[in-house]
Structure 1
Amino acid sequence: MGSIIDNDSSSLAEESLLQDEEIKKYTGDGSVDFKGRPVLKQNTGNWKACPFILGNECCERLAYYGIAKNLVTYLTRKLHQGNVSAARNVTTWQGTCYLTPLIGAILADSYWGRYWTIAVFSTIYFIGMCTLTLSASVPALKPAECFGSVCPPATPVQYAAFFFGLYLIALGTGGIKPCVSSFGADQFDDTDPQERVKTGSFFNWFYFSINIGAFVSSTLIVWTQENAGWGIGFGIPALFMGLAIGSFFLGTPLYRFQKPGGSPITRMFQVVVASFRKRRLVLPENSSLLYETPDKRSAILGSRKLEHSDELRQLFN
């Protein structure tokens, strides 16, 4: 009788061990594949997926700085604007580039997810680059050259074509800038100690890719614009933006995806309201009792549970 019980216990232990081994094959952070299925660690994410994301970021930054670094020169020499007007237009455009990420971040977190936000806005970006290239290449859209000291002003159509392409780029960068770095971090399972350590290395390579793109733009692209013509000077960044999109889509089967978790703005206001209403409550000594559920994962689909912190406790005291 005792041997039967021992055999049953042994088989249950083996079955439990096999189940644990099977679970460890899958990611523990809730990530899924392109079709929404749980993903195997060995087949997706990690460094296998990162080269496509890093390539996208490098090419996108090359395209951006290929326009931004020499934009004042183009406005003054080709569109015949004054220095003040050119500087104002460049500053306004760059400011717009840093405001549009708010749009991209909200869409990614609430509705589309990071992958589709990057894909859609990269396409918009590429259309803007092509429009800008055409505005500097097609005779009807290209401003006339100066004759001596006489510089004919650009026509309304020429202005419209140029600034339409320029602000499409500003819109496009709004979906790429806030999503690419976090999408790269999604490729590493933060519940796995071995993969979590690799996230830091990814960000090192991520910023290295940004600087490579900026360096090439500041040297090769600027030289091309000054010596070979603005059509080619804008066309090369447009080509690299096309390569960025191709690189990004090429890695689709290898990516890990986090599902959208709803509007972060709504949750932010919920936290502020809840904090104010419960400001008189006495906090329990055991911080684990503060979690919204006893589960390891967040109750909000697509979000991760935050660790307890006392840093903002004094705000409502």
Structure 2
Amino acid sequence: MSYVPSNGVFPAALGDFLADTFCTYAGKTSESPGGVALNSMLLEWTAEVFGYPKGFQGNLTSGGSAATVIAMATARDSRKGLRARDFHRVVVYVSELTHHCTKKALHTIGLGEAVVRDIQVDSRWKMDVRALEATVANDRQNGLIPFAVVATVGTTDVGSADPVDAIADVAERQGLWLHVDAAYGGFFALCEEARALFRGVERSDSIIVDPHKGLNLPYGSGVVLVRDGRKLHLSNTAHKQGSYLTNPLHPGSDDTELSPCDLSFELSTHFRGPRMWFPLKLFGVQTFRLMLKEKLRLAAYFYRIIKGEHTTVMFNHGDLCFNR
């Protein structure tokens, strides 16, 4: 029904310019403690937006696809007793409108043989929770391994939001990993008018969101959060690091805090923090909140137009004021 473009904001370009010019490696705390702290501040702020409790961990990624790979790999590694010989019996539940990056991620992490169930949606394009639970029960009865469910808040095709709170109830009863794809619609959580759509997101096991959509940052800006940060850490450190990654100031010792490279499959990575921090710091969160509110009101206005209703809508966002 629509194509979702992106914009860029100038302070983000300045942030990238500085990151590129100084060529900061912010993947390891001992290499750039300030850079890691900057990234961590942004992750903490994002976690607050979605109501994640303390103990979470996350990473700044190249976008929703890489973020989904990290989340699904963490889910795979967190499932006790799950072995490669079982992967063909693993079942992942999505809706008809779930973004295809989920299936790509499953293939990437070795779950290409997993069964992916497309759960039907209702008249408002939301996942049918009753159909979900019935399908999970049927799969379990038939010897399959119900594994994870993906709820979307802001489908790319129509902008619909799955009932996350109800899906979380099913996930808890059935022992499923609940992953929330909020890549497109996530930052609408900043708007009071849309908060109800995010009820239950704080109960999810993982969530992804793209700042290059809702915050108008340059492409290549994603975030992944895992509610139980220990699981994200274990999933990405199930190997022995090279000696060159040890703290050069204190050989043989570990960093006092987790490094981004311990929370992602990436080692070499762009220092993405400044492109997100600069706009938020210079413009303030309220500027982005008002921009998103404008989009909600324009959508409501367009809805009334196609219904043939005569309406007058006033937009007054600081310097922005016009009538329709």
Answer whether TM exceeds 0.5 for this pair: no
TM-score by length of 1: 0.31
TM-score (norm 2): 0.31
- Which structure shows the bigger proportion of residues in helix conformation? 1
Larger-Rg structure: 1
Using CA pairs below 8 Å that are at least 6 residues apart, which structure has the higher relative contact order? 1
Larger proportion of strand: 2
